[in-house]
Amino acid sequence: MRKTQVHEVSIALSMMDELTRIAKENDAKSITSVNLRIGRSSGIVIDSLKFAFDAIKLENSLIASAEIHIEDVPLRYKCSECEKDFELESIHFPSCPFCKSFRLKILSGEEMDIANMELEV
Ligand SMILES: [Zn+2]
């Protein structure tokens, strides 16, 4: 558990660096809101990431009052055999629910992105 939290804190810190860099480039007074997209297979626990953000943002006046929204992106695959696409919860040995093939391409669910942010300039 402890290891997981360290992971989320380091991700929050690097996203925070990116957000403040963008804010400074735009001569912003502050960041008012941030939307993140986090995929189910990214290995990030969304609650832990939100907790980490809420804790560290207070140390940075640019982002201290920002609202952080995190979108949980489901895991979608496309089957290379039958060409169907579908959502799955599992990331461990996923197989196609239609033809049972293991030859799957991942379509979404690996995201770890800053989708957009609002700045006050
Ligand atoms: Zn299939």
* Three-state SS at 11: helix
* 10 in a structural domain: yes
Domain that holds residue 9: 2-74+109-120
Question: How far, in Å, is the centroid of ligand 1 from the Cα of 88?
Answer: 13
* pLDDT tens, residue by residue, 27-43: 999 999 999 999 998 98
Q: How far, in Å, is the centroid of ligand 1 from the Cα of 104?
A: 8
User: What is the Å distance from ligand 1's center to 51 Cα?
Assistant: 38
Number of independent structural domains in the chain:
1
In a domain, 69, yes or no: yes
| Residue 3 or residue 43, greater confidence | 43
Q: What is the pLDDT of residues 65-117, one digit of tens each?
A: 999 999 999 999 999 999 999 999 877 889 999 999 999 999 999 999 999 99
Is 59 part of any domain? yes
97 CA distance to ligand 1 middle (Å): 7
CA of 109 to the centre of ligand 1 (A): 19
- Distance (Å) from CA 40 to ligand 1 centroid: 21
Burial of 49 (0-12, 13-18, 19+ CB in 10 A): buried
What's 115's domain CATH number? 3.30.2320.50
Residue 99 in any domain: the answer is no
